[in-house]
A and B are shown apart, each in its own frame.
Chain A
Amino acid sequence: MNKSVRIQKNKYYDSVTLMLVSKELKKLDGVNEVLVGMATDLNKELVGNLGLSNNEIEELNANDFFITVEWEREENLEELLLKVEELLNKKDEASDDYSPATLSSALKYMDDANLVIISVPGKYAYQEAKKALNKNLHVMLFSDNVKVEEEKELKEIARDKGLLMMGPDCGTAIINQVPLAFGNVVNKGHIGIVAASGTGAQEVSVIIDKLGGGISQAIGTGGRDLSKEIGGIMMLQGIKALTEDEETKVLLLVSKPPSPEIAEKVLQAAKDGGKPFVVSFIGGSPEVVEKYGGVYGASLEDAAIKAVELTGLKAKSMDSNMNLEELLKDQLKLLKPEQKYLRGLYTGGTLCDEAMKLLSKDIGGIYSNIPLKPQLKLENLNISKEHTCIDLGDDDFTVGRPHPMIDPSTRQERLLKEAEDPEVAVFLMDFVLGYGSNPDPAGEMVPFIKRSKEVMMEKGVEALYIASVCGTEKDPQNLREQEAKLKEAGVIILPSNAKAVAFSAEILKYQAKR
Chain B
Amino acid sequence: MKPLMICHNTKKILNSKRVIRGRIHSVFKRVCNIITPEGILIPLISHQLSISPGGILVELLQNQEFSSMGFKRNLEVEVLDMILRIEGMVELDLTHASQWDGKPPAFEGVGRKDLKKNVEVLRHIVLNAASYEGVASIFPEVEGSILGRVFKEKLPINHYSSYILPRMLKLINAIKDGKEKEIIHTSKEIIGFGPGLTPSADDFVAGLMISMIYSAIYSNVDIKPLVSNFARMVEEWKLRTTIVSSEMLRHAAKGEGSEDVKVLMMGMFSLGATEDFEKAILRVINHGSTSGSDMASGLYVGCVLFFNIHNERVNLFE
Contacts and interface: CB of A to CB of B under 8 A. Distances in A.
Answer yes or no: are A and B bound together in one complex: yes
B197 A13 contact: yes
Interface stretch (B89-97, B116-124, B173-181, B239-247): B239-247
Interface in B17-47: 25-29
B258 to A, nearest CB: 14
Interface of A: 10, 12-16, 18-20, 22, 35-38, 40-43, 46, 49-50, 62-63, 91-92, 94-96, 98, 100-102, 104-105, 108-109
Interface of B: 25-29, 48, 63, 65, 67-68, 73, 133, 159-160, 163, 189-199, 201, 239-244, 279, 282-283, 286, 288-291
Main secondary structure of the interface of B (DSSP, over half): loop
Contacts of B192: 38, 40-43, 62
A41 B194 contact: no
20 contacts: A12-B26, A12-B73, A15-B288, A15-B289, A15-B290, A15-B291, A20-B289, A22-B195, A36-B195, A38-B192, A38-B242, A43-B192, A43-B194, A62-B192, A91-B67, A95-B68, A100-B286, A104-B279, A104-B282, A105-B282
Contact of B63 (A13, A62, A63, A95): A95
Contacts of A16: 288-289
A139 to B, nearest CB: 21
Contacts, number: 106
A20 B131 CA distance: 13
Given A40-B240, A94-B68, A102-B286, A50 B159 contact: yes
Contact of B289 (A18, A96, A108): A18
Given A14-B288, A101-B286, A40 B242 contact: yes
A91 B27 CA distance: 11
Among the interface residues A20, A35, A36, A62, which one has the most CB atoms of the partner chain B within 10 A?
A62
A88 to B, nearest CB: 12
A102 B284 CA distance: 13
Contacts of A35: 159, 195
Contacts of A95: 29, 63, 65, 68
Given A62-B242, A94-B63, A105-B286, A18 B190 contact: no
Given A40-B240, A43-B193, A108 B63 contact: no
B133 A19 contact: yes
Nearest to B237: A41
A98 B68 CA distance: 14
A42 B282 contact: no
B29 A14 contact: yes
Given A40-B192, A40-B241, A108-B48, 7 more contacts: A15-B288, A15-B289, A15-B291, A19-B195, A42-B194, A42-B199, A49-B163
B242 A63 contact: yes
A192 to B, nearest CB: 31
Closest 8 CB pairs of A and B: A40-B192, A42-B193, A12-B26, A19-B289, A15-B196, A15-B288, A16-B289, A15-B289
Given A18-B195, A22-B195, A38-B199, A62 B289 contact: no
B195 A14 contact: no
A17 to B, nearest CB: 8
Contacts of A41: 192, 240
A108 B286 CA distance: 11
